[in-house]
């Protein structure tokens, strides 16, 4: 008896592998289907449920509260493209979100907004792939925007590729596994 199945000859189901994934940003033009081929690591969406408690005599009772989706962190390498570097492309997203440097001559009244921030980055999709490169699990971040961006560290003693760190905030994430969509608005339960 094999660990994952009775017989690998009769099944195509392997366990999910950490290295089989791809990330796409609709708002970041990097080539073929906007796949972030230079993604090194990527967290998956997760949430916590807040709680409140009620004390009655010598008993304590807990009640679920709100769902809070946590941020996602990604590590990217910074390759040079024919039309600029990844750091340059990500920097333009901050400007598209409404960030401007203060002008000493005339203060600008523009500021960031959620609408501009979410539309500048577009839809962010994280797919886990099978051995054939087909998606077996897909997460779409709803209203994502960049919360933290780090241009990386330089080091004379290292031969490593330059790594960029990106943290994304989003309202929630829709998960598709097979034909079932979880966390979809107005769905009530999984479809």
CB contact at 8 A, 85 and 78: yes
What pLDDT, on the 0 to 100 scale, is given for residue 11?
58
Report the domain count for the chain.
1
Place of tokens 């925007």: 145
Structural domain that includes position 167 = 14-182
In this prediction, residue 183 carries a pLDDT of 87
Which CATH number belongs to the domain containing residue 46 in this structure?
2.30.110
Tell me what pLDDT residue 1 has: 42
Q: Which residues are CB-neighbours of 72 under 8 A, at least 6 positions away?
A: 42, 43, 44, 45, 126, 141, 167, 168, 170
CA distances from 121 to 25, 115, 170 (A): 7, 10, 11
- Let me know if residue 187 belongs to a domain: no
What's this model's pTM, rounded to 2 decimal places? Answer: 0.80
Series of mean pLDDT values for 10-residue runs along the chain (191 residues): 54 80 79 70 95 94 95 87 69 79 67 84 91 92 91 91 91 93 71 44
């Amino acid at each position: 008896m094999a660990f994952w199945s009775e017989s690998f000859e009769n099944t195509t189901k392997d366990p999910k592998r950490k290295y089989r994934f791809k990330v796409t940003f609709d708002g970041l033009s990097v080539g073929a289907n906007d796949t972030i081929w230079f993604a090194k690591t990527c967290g998956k969406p997760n949430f916590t449920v807040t709680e409140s408690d009620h004390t009655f005599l010598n008993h304590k009772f807990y009640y679920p509260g709100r769902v809070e989706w946590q941020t996602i962190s990604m590590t990217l390498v910074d390759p040079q493209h024919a039309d600029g570097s990844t750091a340059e492309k990500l920097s333009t997203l901050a400007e598209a979100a409404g960030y401007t440097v203060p002008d000493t001559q005339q203060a600008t009244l523009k500021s960031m907004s959620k609408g501009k921030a979410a539309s500048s980055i577009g839809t962010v999709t994280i797919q886990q792939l099978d051995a054939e490169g087909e998606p077996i699990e897909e997460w779409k971040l709803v209203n994502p925007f960049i919360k933290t961006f780090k241009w990386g560290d330089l080091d004379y003693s290292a031969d490593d590729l330059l790594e960029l760190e990106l943290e994304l905030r989003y309202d929630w994430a829709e998960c598709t596994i097979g034909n079932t969509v979880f966390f979809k608005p107005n769905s009530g339960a999984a479809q």
